[in-house]
Amino acid sequence: MEEKRKNKRTDLKVTAELSVISTTGETKVVEADIMDLSPTGIGFTCNDQLEIGEVYKTKIKIWTEETISAILKIVRCTMKGDTPIYGGIFVGMENSDILRIQVYQMFNGEVATATKE
């Protein structure tokens, strides 16, 4: 399968809260189980049915126990058995949070290389 992601994904097993951003004023909050994270997006599962193109405010607790807030747009959904696997891109995130993810990935990669030798 051809890799279409712009950035490397880092495995992350946490639960996040997604709040729909609606022009009608409707409030919809769902929980998502995050599988992986990159500076540009996430992969996750969710028991609720989400629509491609929906936009959510999200709060994700990362490995440092800090919370990243971002605006997420659902861009894909594939099925793995009976489980929908969603992909979302960040359409709004603080630069400091993007940098935090990049630094972690860089550090994580250096540790993995050092332990192989």
Tell me whether residue 20 is in a domain: yes
- Averaged pLDDT for residues 32-59: 90
pLDDT above 80: residue 46: yes
Instruction: Give the per-residue pLDDT at 52.
Output: 93
Let me know if residue 106 belongs to a domain.
yes
In a domain, 68, yes or no: yes
Q: Can you give the CATH number for the domain in which 52 is found?
A: 2.40.10.220
The whole-number pLDDT of residue 115 equals 35
Number of structural domains the chain divides into: 1
Across the chain, what does the average pLDDT equal?
80
- Domain extent at residue 63: 10-116
Nearest Cα neighbor of 8 from 46, 48, 36 is 36
The sign of the dihedral angle between the CA atoms of 56, 5, 81, 61 is negative
Q: What is the pLDDT of residue 62?
A: 82
- Whether residue 89 is contained in a domain is answered as yes
By percentage, how much of the chain surpasses pLDDT 70?
79
User: Is 117 a residue whose pLDDT tops 80?
Assistant: no
Structural domain includes residue 1: no
In this structure, are residues 108 and 100 in contact, taking their beta carbons and an 8 Å threshold? no
Residue 78 lies in a domain: yes
Domain annotation covers residue 4 = no
Q: How far apart are CA 110 and CA 97, in angstroms?
A: 20
Q: Give the pLDDT of residue 66.
A: 84
Return all residues near 90 (Cβ < 8 A) that are at least 6 apart.
Answer: 39, 40, 41, 42, 70, 71, 72, 73
pLDDT above 70: residue 16: yes
Domain annotation covers residue 80: yes
For residue 1, pLDDT beyond 60: no
